[in-house]
Every structure is written in C-alpha cells, then in structure tokens.
Amino acid sequence: MSFFSPFFGYLSFLKIKKSKDLKKIVFFSESRNYRNYLKDLIKILDEQSGIEIIYITSDSKDTEELSKNIKPIYIGSGFFRILLFSLINCDMVIMTLTDLGNHEIKKSKFCKNYIYIFHSLVSTHKCYTHKAFKNYDVILCNGEYQKKELEEAEKVFNFKKKKIFNTGYLYLEKLNRDKNKYKNQKKILFAPSWGNSKRNLFDDYAEIIIDKLIEKKFQTILRTHPETVKRSNKYLEIIGKKYLLNNNFELNTDLRSLKCFDESSVLITDNGGVALEYLIVQRKPVLYIDYLEKIHNEYLDKIRIETFEDKVKKDIGTTISVKDLDKIDLFLEKTKDNFNKNLNKLDELLFEFGVVVKNQSQNKKDVILKLLSNY
C-alpha cells in the first residue's frame, strides 16, 4: 500500500481536467501539522466563484475533507510526488515549503505562479537558507520586516525579483480564534525548536529539562516540532515511555491541537517562531534557553538587519543558560516579573516591524484574486 496509495493519488490528480472557465489553485501540505497554516485561506477561496481548489498532501493521515468540494489527494513523499510536481498544470501552487527547486520538488513549466506562505513569524535570513525563497514567484509576508529582508537578499545575491506582498501571518487568525477555549491550568509548556545541526536542545537536554521541571513539581507539557517527530522519533519514544505514568507530564506531538497554549502559563523554548506566536496571541511570558543559535543561513552576515525574533527575545524575553537549569524555578519567576514590566514593548515592536495582525485571510485572498485576474 505504501507504493499504491501515492500512485492512486497521482492518478486522481491526472483525472482532474483543467477547465477554461475555472482557475486551478493547488495547495500542497508536507504533513497534517501544516494544514493549520493553509486552512483559513482555502476556506475563503473555496467560497469564491470561478476557482477550483486541489489539496495535495504527503501525509497519509492528512485526509480529512476540507469542504464538500475538496477531498485531499495523498501523494506521499517519493517518486510520484516528484513526477506530479514536475508536470503539474495549474494557475497557482501555494505552499509553506521552503527551498523550492533546490531539492526534489521542482517548478513545473505548466504552472503560472508559485506562491509561498510563511509558517512562522521569524525573519527570513537566519533560520532559512539564503536560497530558501529564491525560486518562488510570489511571497506573502507576515510583516514589512520580511519584505525588507527578502528585497535585501535579492540585491545581495542578485536573485530574480519576486512579487512580495505584506499580507500578514495567516496562522494568527486560527490562534486568536481558538484561544481561551480551555481553563488555564498554569502548566509549563516546553517547546524546543528544530535545527539541522546534529546538536540540538531536544536531543541534548530535553530529558534533563523535563526532569528538573517535574522534580520542582511543575506540570509540564512537551510540544514537539514536526521535524523532531521525524528525525528524533526513537528518542521521543524513550521520553514518552519514561514519563508515561507521571501525572505531571504530557506529550503533545499533534500540532493541530492548540490546547497546550491555553493551559500553560509560561513557554520554555530556545529558538523558533513558537515564542513569537505565544507572546503575540497568548500575551504570556517566554523563558529562552541559551544553548545553540538556530542559524541555517551560512551567509547571515551579508544581510545586516536585526532579526525580528532576536529583537523580541532581547526586549521581552528572559534567558537561562543550560548551566543554570538547577535554578529553573527561580528563572521562571524572574520570567514572569520581567514580562509584566516589558509587556508594553510588544505592541511597539509589532508596529516597528510592520507585523500585520488583522484580516490576514482577506489580505491574501485579495492578492491572489488580483494575480489571477492578470492572466
């Protein structure tokens, strides 16, 4: 079935005939954990006449219908995905996948526009490779800071100019809509980021941090990054078994569930966008663990712009060294105090970096319809 399911998905896509009266938009999701970043836009476009939407996924568990008109097509992550994307015929492909054309997923000459949507609020020139967005035709940014960074990269690396629009972070709509659904139980949310380095906070310190928190009587939720589930699955299983019967521990690997944000009072992380989402939507403090910086761009020094995540971390967050984990309870109290003192800076930073916090779906819809009308 591992071979035939993607094959049948490929055949299903081929059976979809391109109508002259409809604009065909293809959404691609790497896994069910990325569906949340696309769902609101899919819904608002599905209500628009003259558009046919196709949802393709590499995750066999990402098969829940998005609407009566949209049934996901499972294509897997092997040969048939490569084949489909090399020949795909549509008006637009919309993805959250970086490095298009730099790996096995290439651009098709039969597709008019490839559009990138961010699945994080972080800046574009530190946590992503310098070619991560090079081959896209259109970028829908979360704020003016990303637009400025991408335009600077085009100059520095002599990339072809793209159409770049500041439409806002789509995922914030869902986070805002779903917050406060659950009673705040004052738990600690530990959400380590993922990095492509062999050394990372999860593999090197997750167990130690969880032990320290439980030892100090904190109810702890471990929320994993999708890449951690794929790349550190064996270690994740060890952690799950170790704390299986511990009432002070929960494991959250399904990122579609946002319950942990409501039920926690503080987030502990090292890098990544989860801290920004937590601060902006939940308005709760973040304790950063100082271990390894998440740098995926070897040419970071060529883009001389302070990243959004570093500025927020410096002005609003509190940092603890891995050497001080024995004092994590004291740092958690310090984090709350610092956050209460600096909370007013958050809105100032959102304004300074030009982060769009309203009407994200509508903004993206307007841009997409305008693009479609031009051809």
Closest by CA position to 93, among listed 74, 75, 109, 114: 114
What SS3 class is residue 35? helix
Question: Residue 313 has what pLDDT?
Answer: 95
Identify the structural domains of the chain with CATH numbers, from first to last: 12-170+356-373 (3.40.50.2000), 176-352 (3.40.50.2000)
Question: Residue 375 has what pLDDT?
Answer: 64
Q: How does 257-280 read in b/e, with b if 16+ C-beta sit within 10 Å? A: ebebbbbbbbbbbbbbbbbbbbbb
CA-CA distance, 355 to 85, in Å (whole number)?
Answer: 32
Yes or no: say if 333 and 344 are a contact pair by the CB < 8 Å rule: no
Composition of the chain by helix, strand, coil, percent to 5: 40, 20, 40
Residue numbers of the chain with a pLDDT score lower than 70: 1, 375
Closest by CA position to 134, among listed 114, 120, 111: 114
Question: Residue 269 has what pLDDT?
Answer: 97
Which residues make beta-bridge pairs with 115? 94, 138
Give me the DSSP letters along 169-219: -THHHHHHHHTT-S----EEEE-----SSS--HHHHHHHHHHHHHHHTT--
CA-CA distance, 167 to 173, in Å (whole number)?
Answer: 12
